[in-house]
Amino acid sequence: MRHQAPTSRARLVAVRLLCVASLAAPAAACSSSNDTPDAAAPDAGPSDADAVGCVNDKRADTYTANLAKAGKAQKVNATLTADDPAPPARGLNHWTVRLTDATGAPVTGALTVKPYMPDHGHPSSTQPVVTSKGDGTYDIAAINLFMPGLWQVTLSTDGPSADDVVYSFCIQG
């Protein structure tokens, strides 16, 4: 039995719906689908789900298609226009992002992508391969989210639009 705080139910339901939609995903990637969000017991602390899946972690973004994030410096806005698998999952992920500056113009400069697990204090084992399309979109291949837990994928631009955009996802086992 896993106990969910009421405020986490919407996210859990979203996760379950996404899992249902991802019929090709391994069953292990959808381990939360057997949870019982209507459990009546109060949430007295970290739950089983927190320990194994970070599904209640408020640092994690709630996944949607075309998920938009603003940079820390408010100089860049990012949209995750495509991601395979969707939502991001354990293993190799392939993203397309679109970057615009504060005026809405496309950002076309160099982009560095760094996956990192803040709770474990380590980066990914390999560097993603970033290709600028020259129109504000970037192809980001081989984002290796190799273990379950919270991952932060930081997109760093340089030049006049230097900024860091952080996507955070709870990756299931």
For the CB of residue 150, give the shortest distance to Cu ion in the complex, in Å.
Answer: 9
Of 87 and 149, the one with the shorter C-beta distance to Cu ion is 149
Of 82 and 147, the one with the shorter C-beta distance to Cu ion is 147
Beta-bridge mates of residue 114: 154
Q: What's the 3-state SS for 27-51?
A: HHHHHHHHCCCCCCCCCCCCCHHHH
Report whether 101 contacts 107 (CB < 8 A).
Answer: yes
* By CB under 5 A, residue 171 contacts Cu ion: no
Place of tokens 């952080």: 166
Written as six digits, the tokens of 88 are: 């991001």
For the CB of residue 114, give the shortest distance to Cu ion in the complex, in Å.
Answer: 14
The site string for Cu ion over 75-114 (x = CB under 5 A, - otherwise) reads: ----------------------------------------
* By CB under 5 A, residue 120 contacts Cu ion: yes
Give the contacts of 108 (CB within 8 A, at least 6 positions apart).
132, 134, 135, 136
Give the binding-site size for Cu ion (rule: CB under 5 A): 3
Q: Which residues bind Cu ion (CB under 5 A)?
A: 117, 120, 147
